[in-house]
Amino acid sequence: MISVVLGTRPEIVKMAPIIKELKKRDIDYFVIHTGQHYSYNLDKVFFENFDLEKPRYNLEVGSGTHGKQTGEILKRIERVLIDEKPEIVLVEGDTNTVLASALAASKLHIKVGHVEAGLRSFWKWMPEEINRVLTDHISDLLFAPTEIARNNLLNEGIREGVYVVGNTIVDSLKLKKIEKIEKDFILLTLHREENADNPEKLKSIIKGTEMISEYFDTPVIYPIHPRTKKNLKKFGIEINEKFIKLVDPLNYFKFLSYLKSCKFVLTDSGGVQEEACILKIPCITLRDNTERPETINIGANILAGNNPKKILESAVKMSKANKKWENPYGEDVGKKIVDIVQASR
């Protein structure tokens, strides 16, 4: 039996191809949802979008500090794993769900498979960096998306059980047709703790975004994240809606329609960097580092940080980008991962 653990919407998106492949092959599996991402009710639409069955377990952990959330997941998932006794636990990415689930499974001598292993920003201030490093070091099967990720693992002494398979986001983007929106706009996503919780950084990024809108004479559409919305009000930062048009959060495939249709995207999301690269949309990353260096190496992405002038300069540069880069993330990734999992049992 295989257990697939999810906790956030990006994890649902990236694990969907694996879940579908497990079901297709009639492999015994079950899904645990930790409830890390705000509310399980808000996540239901993601299961519906991908035609996935309801998880067998919902741990209803909810939000909280990193320690509280990680501890609650560890405590609650341990009980499930003891009762169900799966042969392997599959986790994806770098969330508190990933670390807690991998730790619980490892201490119960259950194999851990880490999907998207080997990503590194080399910046330990980032909570996700700690999660991904620790998870990699206690995993038995490490599914690296690229050779760069594999080399990161090798450099840390991890050599056993490492497989370069690509990134399941490639499969996810093929599950439904992505419609184009016929209007001219720039897209913004902004939610990471390092930006949304820092008033100076947040103010600078908003200013840089408004400068871009004015320079290109093009509106910026921002599906505003609840965390950022709350902090804009808390910090007294006003958005000039002449330049930035705020809209409610979008479901996944609606968001992809916006991404596929925009002139370029401004983001601090790791997943959006990948999705933009695959859809051949120039990306300006509002951070000083990235765990997706492949996107920069092929000219699909640029690091702009939070300085308004640099953000504008980066946007001007990427607006002229040659979109003929090749997708660095492979294909049929879900099938490759399930092949390896089956062979390891």
To the nearest 10°, the Cα dihedral for 71, 72, 78, 84? -150
Which residues have C-beta within 8 Å of that of residue 310, sequence separation ≥ 6?
208, 304
- 226 and 313 in a common domain: yes
**338, part of any domain:** yes
- 160 and 190 in a common domain: no
Q: What is the CATH number of the domain that holds 76?
A: 3.40.50.2000
- 334 and 293 in a common domain: no
User: Where does the pLDDT of residue 345 fall: very low under 50, low under 70, confident under 90, or very high at 90 and above?
Assistant: confident
Q: Which of 139, 63, 65 is nearest to 99 (CA)?
A: 139
Segment 225-249, tens digit of pLDDT: 888 999 999 999 999 999 999 999 8
**156, part of any domain:** yes
User: Where does the pLDDT of residue 39 fall: very low under 50, low under 70, confident under 90, or very high at 90 and above?
Assistant: low
Give the count of beta carbons closer than 10 Å to the beta carbon of residue 93.
24
Provide the pLDDT for residue 62: 86
Contact 203, 237 (CB under 8 A): yes
Give the tokens for residue 74.
Answer: 């560890």
| SS3 labels along 280-335 | CCCEEECCCCCCCHHHHHCCCEEECCCCHHHHHHHHHHHHCCCCCCCCCCCCCHHH
CA-CA distance, 277 to 327, in Å (whole number)? 7
**177, part of any domain:** no
Q: Would you call 2 helix, strand, or coil by DSSP?
A: strand
**174, part of any domain:** no
**Is a pLDDT exceeding 90 seen at residue 138?**
yes
Segment 151-199, tens digit of pLDDT: 999 999 999 999 999 999 999 999 989 999 999 999 999 999 999 999 9
Place of tokens 């910026």: 220
To the nearest 10°, the Cα dihedral for 122, 124, 126, 129? 60
**178, part of any domain:** no
Active site residues: 191
Give the tokens for residue 77.
Answer: 């998932």
Mean of per-residue pLDDT scores for the chain: 95
Query: How many residues can be counted in the chain?
Result: 345
**Is a pLDDT exceeding 80 seen at residue 100?**
yes
303 by Cβ neighbours in 10 Å (0-12 / 13-18 / 19+) ranks as middle
**161, part of any domain:** yes
The stretch 23-49 carries a mean pLDDT of 84
User: Where does the pLDDT of residue 44 fall: very low under 50, low under 70, confident under 90, or very high at 90 and above?
Assistant: confident
- 210 and 129 in a common domain: no
Q: pTM here? A: 0.95
CA-CA distance, 141 to 192, in Å (whole number)? 28
CA angle, residues 303, 264, 255, in degrees to nearest 5 = 110
Q: Would you call 89 helix, strand, or coil by DSSP?
A: strand
**Is a pLDDT exceeding 90 seen at residue 1?**
yes
**Is a pLDDT exceeding 90 seen at residue 319?**
yes
**Is a pLDDT exceeding 70 seen at residue 38?**
no
Place of tokens 């499930």: 80
Q: Which of 10, 33, 140 is nearest to 80 (CA)?
A: 33
Provide the pLDDT for residue 42: 61
CA-CA distance, 335 to 343, in Å (whole number)? 12
Contact 159, 146 (CB under 8 A): no
Q: Looking at the 3D structure of the chain, how many domains does it have?
A: 2
Q: Would you call 10 helix, strand, or coil by DSSP?
A: helix
Contact 300, 276 (CB under 8 A): yes
- 313 and 199 in a common domain: yes
User: Where does the pLDDT of residue 41 fall: very low under 50, low under 70, confident under 90, or very high at 90 and above?
Assistant: low
- 157 and 12 in a common domain: yes
CA-CA distance, 46 to 55, in Å (whole number)? 12
- 141 and 232 in a common domain: no
**Is a pLDDT exceeding 70 seen at residue 94?**
yes
- 16 and 131 in a common domain: yes
- 91 and 228 in a common domain: no
**173, part of any domain:** no
Give the tokens for residue 320.
Answer: 């002229």
Segment 256-299, tens digit of pLDDT: 999 999 999 999 999 999 999 999 999 999 999 999 999 999 99
The stretch 319-334 carries a mean pLDDT of 96
Q: Would you call 169 helix, strand, or coil by DSSP?
A: helix
Residues of the domain holding 59: 2-167+330-344
- 132 and 39 in a common domain: yes
Give the count of beta carbons closer than 10 Å to the beta carbon of residue 133.
18
The stretch 288-315 carries a mean pLDDT of 98
**325, part of any domain:** no
- 158 and 190 in a common domain: no
- 211 and 161 in a common domain: no
Contact 334, 17 (CB under 8 A): yes
Segment 52-70, tens digit of pLDDT: 999 999 999 988 899 999 9
Provide the pLDDT for residue 127: 93
